[in-house]
């Protein structure tokens, strides 16, 4: 949830910002902040590694997450696991390609579920009540929030003058974070191909400790957020001003990211759904499928700029949050036309969310 960020010069900051600006418009709804922080952290880390190598060529260095290969754009789009398989898009010679340690394959599509504004407040109220009824223990001193999920995403791959659509295969993502966000660990083959994963602990190698914020929250940070829906929404709009394609879409995305890979305290978790009900343009999708094939009802919003619909998927009976996905709804032009309507551009499924007593410890080891 927190990325290690190194100090950079103004010139480097401008260069990095320009790089992100060129790629951010292609990111699927809900992934802008994630990929921005990941890219910036990797750029800063790679530059620091280069400086360290120049100063002391023989020194053993920490294995940083590698930068995206020059021939591959940011992992900007996403693949789905559930849906109708479409033809394989050729990405390279041979039987697939590798990026970040995860084999890539064909993009998948899904039938677009019908969307309606009817019943949105009622559904979100039911989801909020269900969230409030679930046991939600606090994170104690020395404990970690553990989240295990399955995810898949797709990127536009360019080799020479040819751009094609490729998808990362479904893979397991495990993340640990301390309550204050200063200690953590990540195992995700789409980010780092080491099976051991990488540290998220702060401060970084230059001594910087970024403060938690809505885009990279710690549990302690979340305990201080207002739980009144009007106050919470106002804070979200204020702190995310200038992000995303529109304020309303960014507010929806911000709440979705909190649902996916954070551990909101009980009262805040319930309040997030009542807050989402106040965002204009929110709809209900009658049927949506998460990354492991679980069907449910979705609370969603269409980003009219990107033409993608971000969907939060809930069990139709219990209203438990299952995961999220982004689906291309509107046809694009140019190279973006490779992403046809019905393409699922990002998908994940939350499998475990628990409090554990040690870093890299799983719930089965805590008992």
Structural contact between residues 278 and 231, judged by C-beta atoms closer than 8 angstroms: no
Q: How far is CA 328 from CA 89, 259, 305, 342, in A?
A: 17, 21, 11, 5
Q: What's the pLDDT score for residue 105? A: 60
Identify the sign of the CA torsion 316, 319, 321, 324. Answer: positive
Domain ranges of the chain: 10-366
Q: What is the pLDDT of residues 261-305, one digit of tens each?
A: 999 999 999 999 999 999 999 999 999 999 999 999 999 999 999
The per-residue pLDDT for range 211-221, each reduced to its tens digit, is 999 999 999 99
**Phi and psi angles of residue 258, each rounded to the nearest 5 degrees, phi first:** -65, -35
The answer to which of 13-27, 255-269, 353-367 has the lowest mean pLDDT is: 13-27
Coil, helix or strand for 268?
helix
Mean pLDDT check: name the lowest of 14-18, 109-113, 230-234: 14-18
Q: Residue 344's pLDDT is what? A: 87
Which range has the worst mean pLDDT, 273-282, 330-339, 354-363?
330-339
pLDDT at residue 321 greater than cutoff 70: yes
Task: Answer whether 317's CB lies under 8 Å from 296's CB.
Answer: no
**Residue-level length of the chain:** 367
Report whether 338 contacts 156 (CB < 8 A).
yes
Beta strands in 4-140 (DSSP E): 84-85, 98-99, 102-105, 108-109, 115-116
User: What letter would DSSP give residue 343?
Assistant: B
Q: Note the helical H segments in 66-106.
A: none
CA–CA dist 77, 21 (Å, integer): 16
Please compute Rg for the chain using Cα positions.
20
Per-residue confidence (pLDDT) for residue 38, from 0 to 100: 40
Residue 96 is given by DSSP the state -
Task: Using DSSP, state whether 255 is helix, strand or coil.
Answer: helix
Residue 366 has pLDDT above 80, yes or no: no
**Residue 80's pLDDT band (boundaries 50, 70, 90)?**
very low
Asked if residue 15 has pLDDT above 90, the reply is: no
Rounded to 5 degrees, what angle do the CA atoms 336, 24, 278 make?
100
Q: In whole numbers, what is the pLDDT of the chain averaged over residues?
A: 77
- CA-to-CA distance for 263 and 179, rounded, in angstroms? 9
Residue indicated by tokens 């759904």 = 273
More confident residue, 201 or 9: 201
């Amino acid at each position: 949830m927190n990325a290690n960020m190194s100090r950079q010069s103004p010139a480097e900051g401008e260069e990095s910002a320009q790089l992100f600006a060129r790629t951010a418009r292609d990111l699927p709804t809900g992934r802008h902040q994630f990929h921005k922080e990941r890219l910036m952290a990797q750029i800063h880390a790679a530059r620091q590694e280069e400086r360290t190598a120049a100063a002391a060529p023989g020194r053993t260095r920490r294995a940083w997450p590698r930068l995206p290969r020059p021939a591959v754009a940011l992992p900007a789009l996403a693949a789905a696991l559930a849906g109708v398989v479409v033809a394989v898009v050729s990405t390279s010679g041979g039987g697939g390609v590798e990026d970040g340690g995860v084999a890539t394959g064909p993009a998948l599509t899904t039938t677009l579920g019908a969307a309606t504004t009817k019943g949105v407040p009622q559904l979100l109220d039911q989801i909020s009540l269900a969230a409030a009824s679930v046991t939600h223990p606090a994170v104690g001193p020395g404990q970690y929030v553990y989240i295990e999920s399955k995810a898949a995403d797709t990127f536009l791959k360019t080799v020479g003058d040819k751009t094609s659509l490729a998808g990362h295969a479904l893979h397991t993502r495990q993340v640990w974070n301390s309550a204050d966000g200063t200690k953590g660990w990540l195992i995700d083959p789409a980010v780092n191909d080491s099976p051991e994963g990488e540290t998220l602990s702060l401060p970084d190698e230059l001594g910087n400790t970024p403060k938690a914020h809505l885009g990279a929250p710690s549990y302690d940070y979340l305990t201080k957020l207002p739980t009144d829906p009007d106050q919470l929404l106002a804070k979200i709009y204020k702190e995310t001003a200038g992000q995303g394609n529109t304020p309303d879409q960014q507010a929806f995305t911000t709440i979705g990211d909190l649902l996916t890979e954070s551990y909101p305290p009980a009262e805040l978790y319930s309040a997030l759904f009542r807050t989402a009900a106040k965002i204009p343009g929110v709809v209900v999708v009658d049927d949506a499928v998460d990354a492991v094939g679980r069907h449910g009802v979705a609370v969603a919003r269409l980003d009219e700029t990107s033409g993608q619909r971000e969907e939060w998927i809930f069990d139709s009976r219990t209203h438990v949050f299952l995961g999220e996905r982004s689906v291309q709804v509107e046809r694009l032009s140019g190279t973006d036309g490779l992403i046809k309507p019905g393409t699922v551009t990002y998908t994940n499924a939350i499998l475990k969310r628990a409090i554990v007593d040690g870093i890299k410890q799983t719930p089965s080891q805590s008992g």
